[in-house]
Structure 1
């Protein structure tokens, strides 16, 4: 028996969570019980759990508690039927976590109403953090107290391989004394599912009205971001 297509689109960790529910006798399960049973680390579990929720297989039922939807119960039944007929040596598609350093480069201060370039990108990979295929990412820069508060989000697609990569965003500060920049990175595994939040950061910058008071020297901020890679 071939695995149903709707299950093939799920990461291996999500299938393990569905298998947990197949042997769970209660309608509601705590996340701690799921983690203990599947042996997944928190990062992998979180990614898989979000996928099951966005697919409509799991529904939140209180703090750190989830239950199967009708579609979820059917998915559990389909997976159990597949597991019964699959060869014993058949294993779910493996996956791993890769970590890359997200860097945000900004001036030390912004000038009111002055268009300014902000750089968001990734450093070279560390040893062992390689990818066979480029990661399909969405980089979002959100500007709080910008000159354009009607549309504060600036999105840019990025294909991240094993080398450095960067995107340039142009922003303009409003008349406030500070601006907050939020940079979020989303991973897109396929077009059918919504992007998954991989990580991000924020920085606060001073805003000045007089050019002579604007420190235009650049400063870099960094944070580690983790991505799920399927083998």
Structure 2
């Protein structure tokens, strides 16, 4: 489970300490994305960060502490940036398009974080149970209520909102979690920004039409 001590408001830290902790977490995210929690080691993370194991453990006391921080960082970012109810726009079309494209931006800019999250969920989400219940689900319920209000106003087709969100999450995160497969299919070494823009064009076209919404 996520240690909720890491959720408390942190003490003010120096800029140099924050920079070093960020460097460690970037290295940890890379290693966890490559090897998963069980396959990753503190030694590998420390080496990737350019630190001794002892020095790194001064800042993060264990592999599990590092893992919890990496998971919390990506989930906090998703919840902060990806709440549908917080999207700019005054119509379902604009707000949903911004939501879909915003999810793709996160898949483009934080693909390794997405892979760490996916690996954790596939393995049973043992470290995420509390976070999902206390943070993610309340946000989902607020977004579902918004979609239901649009349905009741006759602004879009009558669908099951939760399955809409599951579909958006799956289709946008696949460009991060399965980027190697998509790159091979497109005949490229790696996906670039244009690929994510094209994915956004396609997904918004298909999903918005499927919801009975007019195009932007």
TM-score, normalization: structure 2?
Answer: 0.23
- Which structure would you say has the larger Rg? 1
Greater share of residues in helix = 2
TM-score, normalization: structure 1?
Answer: 0.22
Greater share of residues in strand = 1
